[in-house]
Amino acid sequence: MTDARVAGVGLTHFGVHPERTSRDLFAEAGLAALDDAGVAREDVAAVHYGNFMGELSEHQGHQGPLVAEALGLDVPATRYESACASSGVALRRAVRDVRNGEADVVVVGGAERMNNLETAESTDALAIAADGLYEVRAGMTFPGAYALMAASYFEQFGGSREDLAHIAVKNHANAVDNDRAQYQQAITVADALESPPVAEPLHLYDACPVTDGASALVLVSESYADTHDVSAPVAVTGTGQGGDKMALQDRQNMATSPAATDAATEAYADAGVSADDVDVAEVHDCFTIAEVMATESLGFFDPGAGITAAREGVTTKDGRLPVNLSGGLKAKGHPVGATGTSQVAELTRLLRGDHVNSEHVADAQTAVAHNAGGTVASAVVHVLETVADTEADAA
């Protein structure tokens, strides 16, 4: 079985771009990834594309062929939908295609356009990732759902709003110099604590923004990298996916994420690593409490111990295990369908040493990306590792 190597990455600015279509955004990211990879366009065998709400935000389904055309490619193209984990699922499929020999070169990524909608409309559109019969009809939105999860966590394990504030402060600090981030400004713990409530105990700075943007990766087989002198020093060595009951009311414990635990267990086994081997991570912090639950599900902390990690400096940029050096969903932004592959793009640049925050993980060799859908009814985890670079070795 061949490695799936990351040969190229591309990202748009994450922010407010209501005038741009998702296909336009993806063209920018995809073409940047192809240029970064330096592969011949005719060698691309397939496009795997994540998008969540295209039918609602743009009245456009069947987006696979559209985005392939936007890249100037005439190849099989498939759109994947798994709520906020859409491009993470697309990446899982792309990795398998490369590994099993179906393709030597694939483009995988995602895009989302939401700011052309009014706030109420985007809220309604996002809500369809919850259970339509038992949650949406009752008025549930995701701030409310994650507030329930936060309250359950506090009741079971302890913690406070100040602990969550330290996560927001950390991720905003990480985004300050990231020119792809939606919010490049630092905040203080006081800013977070004094911000208006969204759904108690969550306040404004506990929530990610509504974001437009796109991300893309070019994956190549190990043999293709060798024979074409393609620089690809990072490989996706592990992939895993898990699932859980859709409605919170049907779960045994709202303060844990078994879907993410299952995905991580599978990904670690696939890569032959453990949580202790991980040097840096990008996790799905759509709300600050989500980062806590993600880091515990990934095995970085015991249940109940992740809540103080940011406050204690463990997950800060100079800590033992930096988390969300991109700024995370919290500050970098969350263009839903693009988030999963954007995490891998950021980690690839961190491991390659060409990210603005690479200095904080200069010796890193192993990274993990955690991408969740809804209230983590879906979860995808990928392990990235540095590998020998054929082009560099040849030089």
The reply to whether 334 belongs to the active site is yes
Please, what is the average pLDDT of the chain?
96
> What per-residue confidence (pLDDT) applies to 8?
98
Report the pLDDT averaged over residues 107-118: 97
CA distance 329 to 168: 10
pLDDT tens digits for range 148-177: 999 999 999 999 999 999 999 999 999 999
pLDDT, position 395: 47
pLDDT digits (tens, 9 = 90+) for 19-31: 999 999 999 999 9
Domain 4-117+209-387's class? alpha beta
Using CA atoms, how far apart are residues 131 and 343, in angstroms rounded to an integer?
Answer: 26
pTM comes to: 0.97
Residue 187 has pLDDT above 50, yes or no: yes
Alpha-helical regions (H) of the chain: 22-37, 54-57, 63-70, 86-99, 119-127, 142-157, 161-175, 189-194, 222-227, 258-271, 288-297, 328-331, 339-352, 390-394
Mean pLDDT of 41-52: 98
Which pLDDT value is given to residue 34? 98
pLDDT digits (tens, 9 = 90+) for 175-186: 999 999 999 999
Is the per-residue pLDDT at 314 higher than 90? yes
Going by their DSSP bridges, the two strands 366-373 and 280-282 should be labelled as parallel
> Which one, of 236, 232, 205, lies nearest residue 327 by Cα?
205
Please confirm, yes or no, whether 286 is among the known catalytic residues: no
pLDDT at 391: 54
Catalytic residue among 13, 17, 84, 166: 84
d(CA 3, CA 11): 23
| Active-site entry in 17, 48, 203, 334 | 334
Read off the pLDDT of residues 286-309 as tens digits, 9 standing for 90 and up.
999 999 999 999 999 999 999 999
- The 10s digit of each residue's pLDDT in 340-390 is 999 999 999 999 999 999 999 999 999 999 999 999 999 999 999 999 875
Omega before 143 within 30 of 0, i.e. cis: no
Q: What is the pLDDT of residue 390?
A: 57
Mean per-residue pLDDT, 237-249: 97
Q: Is the pLDDT of residue 9 over 60?
A: yes
CA 350 to chain centroid: 15
Burial (CB count within 10 angstroms: exposed 0-12, middle 13-18, buried 19+), residue 41? middle
Task: Write down the pLDDT at residue 3.
Answer: 86
Give Cα separations from 197 to 168, 203, 205, 310 (angstroms): 14, 4, 9, 21
